[in-house]
Structure 1
């Protein structure tokens, strides 16, 4: 059947059913490949998927990758097709929607399984995937309305004066019976809703609860055992940093965790110590799986693989929250995921809407810190986009107040340090900003979001090489970095006059979701002599980011880039002929 009849939600559910299957759960590269092409197709960009975009955006390869890398992409595509075929021939045989990657294309298709006339023959004991869409079961079988409809039809043909009213005493009895039946139905429906919600919905005031369990650890190999334990403790610590999960001890907790991380040492006696990381929901359904080799990691060294897995599991776009979002999430969790998505890839949602949502979420104790963090970062983004105040209060003043509150009142350096450092930099307090950034980096040296944000602060202060190194470390660990990261890699290539790399970064997906990315596209389009692309990008700047387009000079000043970089950007933009750059003044 035509895939146009398959909704976006159905496509997402089909994706997640496949990702947790054994054919994909053991291969991060297959998961990354399939997730990328499906998400791009849902976003309407399926026809733009190329080997280059898969390598750069899905696998985080260097934009200057060679033809051998292209061959690897084709090999991986073949493996994905084989894995899909194996899955749908076995565990996924009854899936309602199937994902197909046609040979010669990377744009996936979605096919509805043929409806069977013998559907009632399905065994009642058949297992249903936790993430699969399930039709709600009626609390009682529907009543047979044949006689009622016939009576109504007959009554319609009887003149009103000949229709007999029931005796008065009977009217009262019927009225009482109707009231009692209505009350009983409402009670049953309410009970059903409560039972259904308790099975899948997290408490309104709570974050998802997760436990970390060590199984089959240890053995005669003392070195392997110590590394396994270090991995487990490191993962538990890092999961708690983000503030998105409540880390709980399953044995000591009164309430069962919503999710469990099971760590298994697969080869404690061999030359290569391997740990399997499996995340299961409360029903025991696997929602995420990965394997990590620890043979080259010392007992006291920072475990980079731990940081990467923790970022994946705890992320608001990671497997835990994707699962929660598919199971009747609370309004606070919906708000957090909306804010996180907007920070990664701005979608035009207004700050006022997100601010109201975050204000409501902040009233829930578990969400106050996350709400503070997201609101502060959204405020700084608005400042970069040309807005100076919100509700009469200067944006930078409000952001500073939120950061200080996080540090002093909430004792949350993970939130307060980078937010205050970024605010100070926009205020021109460079030395204080760098000191705070360095403090944040020393405390959270392998947390991807800290690496990206401190890298940006250092680049803006003129420490280009150090900043780029941190951002590249962030990209190696973050499964879904914010789109502004690509602009700073473009900026590095641009300042080094590396036109090829600059063009590759400017062409990155989602680059034009931010004003700086649009400016990068204008510069590259002009260098290619593509004036129509310059005009199209300039139009997008005026339509999507009018404050920046009206005052490009002010936007460059607010960026706080060193004077030589601002001057070079201004010259390139002025030379492009873009209308928004016509008023730029170039200081020699």
Structure 2
């Protein structure tokens, strides 16, 4: 068995083409006695891994893609993915025992995850490739181009059983070391070191200390440890912060590193079935307690595991969510430190206010941050989102977005994803950029990745839900939007308008009117346009005429290009025509072709 690594070249590992051939061989075999769903499961995880998306193979994404579950899928309450994975492992083992013993490639799904592992069959002597022959006869000064290794699952502790592997790996290692030596001067350069250090040090660091146990007994001690672990697990997806669990109180500081920003401390007190959890956030610079709260729980009502999860979620939401206390206090002066950390409070305030002045301020801050710290994924992601707001909220922000702005926003999003493939906001920005660029498939893929990384991020969930809805997946998309509305996410009235669309497209025009009136975005031409279609569908001609008169007076360009605007937002022709029918019933003339300015 072999493992992925940078010291592999040539045909030592199975190529993607070999893996695809083996996949087809397994699926075509009568001895692979699995139902259609299991076959789809295997095909999905193999192809996703070969496409470089192995990090996204989570229960949630598999449940949606393979099992048809919606966005409310809960892996804890619905074990379908875990059960099917166990069956698939057993069926693959049986296949290789019965008929696949001499197959050139072995595909397995190791326990503990859903990422498949690919290896050459150790029972078969590998052929000596042309490249191997060239290596044995090449002049010592000959330069060789090292091919990329095959895409396989990491398993660094797995030894090779074939002597040939060590020979080829040794040659590749020498080549890699030479390449590394050539790169070292660049890695040592001050600019590179500063960029790398700034990317890590630009975010606040929170030290999560184990919660103290005020009560005696093993149960209280276990609960304190459980809450601490849950907090860490729930903090890690927030890419605006760095989470550590063990840091000396007097860590040495350098010019390139930022000292620990906060310490999260707490305690638990257990009296019978009553649990009180106390938490506080300490600013380490001066020891000030900047936030504290108590949480009372009844273990009989929730149980220990659920209680730990609920308490941890409440604490994390209070301190680390966008606009949480961690970003409301202790932030350095933006003029003195241009980085994502110092810009984050400004960004969160801007999203609450959504004014031209706030937009210009945070845009300037983030532009300085990305110039100073090009390796900071979060700064790039936030700047991309800020630029994309010039499209999404152009009537509110009074902007005139251009193709160049969209191009820059997409490049920033792509850079952020490359720098940090676990950054949900980076994928959120990439989703919006692709959607605005009319690449719906790529947009939804990026949105699914963002939601899989951090489904608890309300902005991610709601924006993904909106793009799902606009692409025609109204049921699943509107569920996510509904959750955002219930938690007061986004600029005021923004998601209420989306709920109005959800109701309208679902055939409930009365509910749609209620949602549209709740949004109270009288200044927004799109809100007026949506309300016009809704009122037209309800047959309220006089009220519809009021909206149309306002649009003709305040936004004549939208009226002239209404077909283009609607087609740009709705992916499915049937959704477009339903909306057009409402507009026509409200008295608006809809041209067959978009007007040209």
Q: Structure 1 length normalisation: TM-score?
A: 0.53
What is residue 314 of structure 1 aligned with on the other side?
320
What is residue 239 of structure 2 aligned with on the other side?
243
Distance in 1 between the 2:230 and 2:291 partners?
A: 21
Deviations 1:282-310 (A, max 9, x none): 44344353526484266499936644542
CA contact (8 A) 1:227 1:294 kept: no
Find out whether 1:551 has 2:553 as its counterpart. Answer: no
Cα distance, 1:261 vs structure 2: 2.7
Of the candidates 266, 271, 290, which is equivalent to residue 269 of structure 2? 266
Of the candidates 195, 211, 214, which is equivalent to residue 215 of structure 1? 211
CA contact (8 A) 2:388 2:433 kept: yes
Report the more deviating stretch, 269-278 or 484-493: 269-278
Deviations 1:110-135 (A, max 9, x none): xxxxxxxxxxxxxxxxxxxxxxxxxx
Map 1:46-445; keep pairs closer than 5 Å. Answer: 206-217=202-213, 225-248=221-244, 251-254=247-250, 257-267=260-270, 269-281=271-283, 282-289=286-293, 291=295, 293=297, 295=299, 296=302, 299=305, 303=309, 306-307=312-313, 309-324=315-330, 332=338, 335-349=343-357, 354-365=362-373, 368-384=376-392, 393-445=403-455
Distance in 2 between the 1:272 and 1:415 partners?
A: 38
SS of 1:233's partner is helix
Find out whether 1:467 has 2:477 as its counterpart. Answer: yes
What is residue 490 of structure 1 aligned with on the other side?
500
Cα distance, 1:506 vs structure 2: 1.7
CA contact (8 A) 1:567 1:586 kept: no
Unaligned runs of 5+ in 2: 1-200, 252-258
Of the candidates 487, 490, 511, which is equivalent to residue 481 of structure 1? 490
Report the more deviating stretch, 319-328 or 377-386: 319-328
Distance in 1 between the 2:243 and 2:273 partners?
A: 32
CA contact (8 A) 1:493 1:501 kept: yes
CA contact (8 A) 1:346 1:513 kept: no
CA contact (8 A) 2:263 2:281 kept: yes
CA contact (8 A) 2:535 2:544 kept: yes
What is residue 454 of structure 1 aligned with on the other side?
464
Q: Are the structure 2 counterparts of residues 346 and 434 from structure 1 closer, same or farther at C-alpha, using a change threshold of 3 Å?
A: same
CA contact (8 A) 1:212 1:236 kept: yes
Q: Are the structure 2 counterparts of residues 356 and 214 from structure 1 closer, same or farther at C-alpha, using a change threshold of 3 Å?
A: same
Distance in 2 between the 1:294 and 1:516 partners?
A: 48
Deviations 1:408-445 (A, max 9, x none): 23444323323223333344433333333333333323
How many correspondences in the alignment? Answer: 376
Cα distance, 1:272 vs structure 2: 4.2
Cα distance, 1:373 vs structure 2: 1.8
Distance in 2 between the 1:576 and 1:383 partners?
A: 27
Distance in 1 between the 2:352 and 2:577 partners?
A: 28
Distance in 2 between the 1:240 and 1:514 partners?
A: 37
CA contact (8 A) 1:340 1:374 kept: no
SS of 2:293's partner is strand
Distance in 1 between the 2:386 and 2:330 partners?
A: 24
CA contact (8 A) 1:386 1:547 kept: no
Report the more deviating stretch, 416-425 or 296-305: 296-305
Cα distance, 1:265 vs structure 2: 1.6
Distance in 2 between the 1:432 and 1:418 partners?
A: 12
Find out whether 1:504 has 2:507 as its counterpart. Answer: no
CA contact (8 A) 1:313 1:320 kept: yes
Distance in 1 between the 2:553 and 2:315 partners?
A: 40
SS of 2:250's partner is coil
Cα distance, 1:404 vs structure 2: 1.6
Q: Are the structure 2 counterparts of residues 456 and 293 from structure 1 closer, same or farther at C-alpha, using a change threshold of 3 Å?
A: farther
Deviations 1:144-193 (A, max 9, x none): xxxxxxxxxxxxxxxxxxxxxxxxxxxxxxxxxxxxxxxxxxxxxxxxxx
Deviations 1:485-537 (A, max 9, x none): 22222222122233443233223356457554343344456659595796478
Find out whether 1:575 has 2:574 as its counterpart. Answer: no
Q: Are the structure 2 counterparts of residues 293 and 512 from structure 1 closer, same or farther at C-alpha, using a change threshold of 3 Å?
A: farther
Distance in 2 between the 1:210 and 1:348 partners?
A: 33
Q: Are the structure 2 counterparts of residues 547 and 420 from structure 1 closer, same or farther at C-alpha, using a change threshold of 3 Å?
A: farther
CA contact (8 A) 2:534 2:582 kept: no
CA contact (8 A) 1:451 1:471 kept: yes
CA contact (8 A) 1:503 1:524 kept: yes
**Aligned Cα root-mean-square deviation (Å):** 4.3
Distance in 1 between the 2:219 and 2:523 partners?
A: 48
Q: Are the structure 2 counterparts of residues 507 and 337 from structure 1 closer, same or farther at C-alpha, using a change threshold of 3 Å?
A: farther
Cα distance, 1:218 vs structure 2: 7.8
Q: Are the structure 2 counterparts of residues 539 and 480 from structure 1 closer, same or farther at C-alpha, using a change threshold of 3 Å?
A: same
Cα distance, 1:360 vs structure 2: 0.9
SS of 1:263's partner is strand
What is residue 44 of structure 2 aligned with on the other side?
none
SS of 1:241's partner is coil
Q: Are the structure 2 counterparts of residues 294 and 401 from structure 1 closer, same or farther at C-alpha, using a change threshold of 3 Å?
A: farther
CA contact (8 A) 1:227 1:297 kept: no
Q: Are the structure 2 counterparts of residues 208 and 413 from structure 1 closer, same or farther at C-alpha, using a change threshold of 3 Å?
A: closer
Q: Are the structure 2 counterparts of residues 445 and 221 from structure 1 closer, same or farther at C-alpha, using a change threshold of 3 Å?
A: farther
